[in-house]
Every structure is written in C-alpha cells, then in structure tokens.
Amino acid sequence: MQFGIFSVGDVTTDPTNGRTPSEHERIKAMLAIAEKAEEVGLDVFATGEHHNPPFVPSSPTTTLGYLAAKTEKLILSTSTTLITTNDPVKLAEDFSVLQHIADGRVDLMLGRGNTGPVYPWFGQDIRDGIPLSIENYDLLRRLWREEDVTWQGKFRSPLQSFTLAPRPLDGIPPFVWHGSIRSPEIAEQAAYYGDGFFHNNIFWPTSHTRRMIELYRKRFEHYGHGRADQAIVGLGGQVFMRKNSQDAVREFRPYFDHAPVYGGGPSLEDFAAQTPLTVGSPQEVIERTLSFRDYAGDYQRQLFLVDHAGLPLKTVLEQLDILGEEVVPVLRKEFAALRPADVPDNPPTFASMLAAKKAEEAAKANGGNGTETSSTSNSSTDNSNTDNSNTDTTNSTETNSEAVSK
C-alpha cells in the first residue's frame, strides 16, 4: 500500500504569532516537505492546482519537475490537475515530459477543482464541468496512446494528424486517478476506463464516502476490469500528532479555529468525530486510519494533509518524522495482513505497467495471446475503449456520456 502526503499550497496566517509567510516562502516550504517525505520513507508527494490567492501551486509540473531532480524513489503526483480548464493537449505534453524527467515516477489525479471563478478565467463555463471532464479526458487518453490523432469535439479546436511529442516513456502513459468529493459521474468515469478513484474525504462523513466508493467499485466490475474489491481506490486524511493526545489537541486547536476552511464551523471535536481528521497520538492515528477499511474496503493509496492552516514548516517536518517513524510502518504491516492475496496492494506504477507490457509482448512472441489477468494490469489498459481507438472522438465521448448518465 502506498502512503504519502498531499498539499493544497495555502498561504495562511499562523494564528499563534500573526505571521503570514510570503508566497516565496510557501513554495520553498512545499519543496522541503516533499523532500522530507522521501527521507522518512513515504511513497507519494502530491500537489494541488489552484489559480487564485491564497494558494501558490498554479504550475504543478514545474514543482514536480524540480522534485524529480531532488528525489530518487518518491512518486510525484497531483492532488488535482484541472481537466476542465487545462487544454488536454498541453496536459499530455507536460506530463509526458515530466514522466521522462522523473524516469516514470509520475501519476496524476484529475478533477474539476473547488473554485468556480477559474472556469471563465480560462475561457470555460462552470455549467459544462462534467461534459468538459468527459471530453477532455477522452482526448488526453488518445494523445498518450495514439501516434496520429485526428479529433473533433465541442470545447476546443479540432486536431488533424497530431502527434504528441515526446511520447510517453516506453509507451506507458502515466496512471490516472479521478478525484471527486461529491460527483457520482466522476466515479462512473473512473470505473468506465478502469482508472483509479480517489475520494478526498477530508470534509465528508463516512456514509458519503462509502456510497461513492461502492458506486465506483460496482461500476468497475460492470465494465469488466475485475471484481469490485479489486478496484483501485485512494483516500485522503488529515492528521496532527504529538506523543500525548492532549498536547496535540491543545497545539492544533488555534490552527483549526482560525483556518479559512474550518473557522466558524463545527468545533474541533465535532469535526474530528464526523470526518477523518485525527488530532491525537500516533496510536490514535493508526487506529483511525485502519478503520477507513471498514467503509472503503481494501484500498491502495492513503494521502495525508499535514501542511495547512498556517502550521509552521518546523511543525510540519516534525509531523512527517512521526508519520515515517511511528505510524506508516505499522499501517503497512496491518493493512497487508488484512488484504486478500488477490486484491492489489498498490496502484499501478510505471515499473509494474512496464513489466506487464513486457510480459504481454513475450507471451505473444511465444504464441500466447498475452491476456492480462490481474486487476492491476487491467487498470493500466484501455479495456473499455479499444473499439473506438481509431474513430473520431466525438463518437467515443458520446459513448462515455451514455455510460456516465446511467
């Protein structure tokens, strides 16, 4: 199972001293946090994408490209890439280049974002959010998988015999997660393609998270990618830890009470009771995180939010030390012991997808059919859309629209 952190990149005043970091300081802090994540043995660092204050990560691939040169093992991801307002051609190019720079240590999470005004800033209409997600992703997939793309859709200019440069590393496109908090259409889209589904459940009760993940799992099986329990699922979470839970609550409370996303709402205790937010000892974080399996099933990626609400960099780095030394090793062991042998323990990675590709090529060379049988391999292939690979994307998009509407 993969464990990591994600950052929304907020610039928030520290309520304990009234100091607000500069944008430069916040960007540098995010880089330091990512490097620390690798140092303590975490698997993933993911950055959000925002185009408005008080957030700084407006260019995720720039950040991740720098980190590719500074890290060796860390998987570099996004905790939302805006599939609605980014041009899919530019997305295909940017992440293909990043994949080469990082020697394959790249995946991405697509989403619609949480800021309505971003749509007109980039020439789109928020009322087209779901259709944009469907059409743009269909084109993105084709650009990564076909060398000569002729395409016509509704939301951008047509393409005529377009070839992406550079091509994905070794012909393996990055693995894609579809991130959604509240839209069943996006869970359906992830299932349709056999991609991963990430439910960033940090603001939602378990009952809602359960329904979204159950929908995705059911439809994943419906589309023939494997059993429902073999679907590729990721979850978010928020933690703040100290050796004693009372110290953790006392230290974190002012940050919770004054954070833009929390302040003025439920109390810290009420919010922690209703969402995955865990403020306490390392053991409490372990027990709470293991309980996610009760409503999400066996899942493959757990990302924690630790650098928000104005927390100083020193405190965040201390949180990472605790995660790496006391929490994640126990979680790895416990989740592995609970997971059935035929359920994927990790989402597809570049290495696993390349190995599956080579095995398939070897099987074909030896007279076999090269059929992949594992859920992990199926998740990295375009099982549901192969019949449309050489047709105009308008037809493919209509097919997916029909699937999403079911």
Answer whether residue 346 shows pLDDT above 80: yes
CATH number for position 29:
3.20.20.30
Helical H segments across 157-244, by residue range:
184-193, 206-222
Q: Closest Cα partner for 317 from 13, 108, 38?
A: 38
> What distance in Å separates the CA atoms of residue 327 and residue 345, rounded to the nearest whole number?
18
Answer whether residue 4 shows pLDDT above 90: yes
Q: Give the count of domains, the chain.
A: 1
Answer whether residue 385 shows pLDDT above 70: no
* Token pair recorded at residue 357: 């590709």
pLDDT tens, residue by residue, 365-381: 988 654 444 444 444 33
Domain limits at 24?
2-405
- Whole-number pLDDT of residue 368: 63
pLDDT tens, residue by residue, 256-309: 999 887 767 899 999 999 999 999 999 999 999 999 999 999 999 999 999 999
Answer whether residue 187 shows pLDDT above 80: yes
Total-model pTM: 0.89
Evaluated on CA atoms 323, 63, 77, 97, the torsion sign reads negative
Q: Can you tell me the mean pLDDT for 214-223?
A: 98
Residue type, 116: G
Answer whether residue 202 shows pLDDT above 90: no
Evaluated on CA atoms 114, 116, 121, 125, the torsion sign reads positive
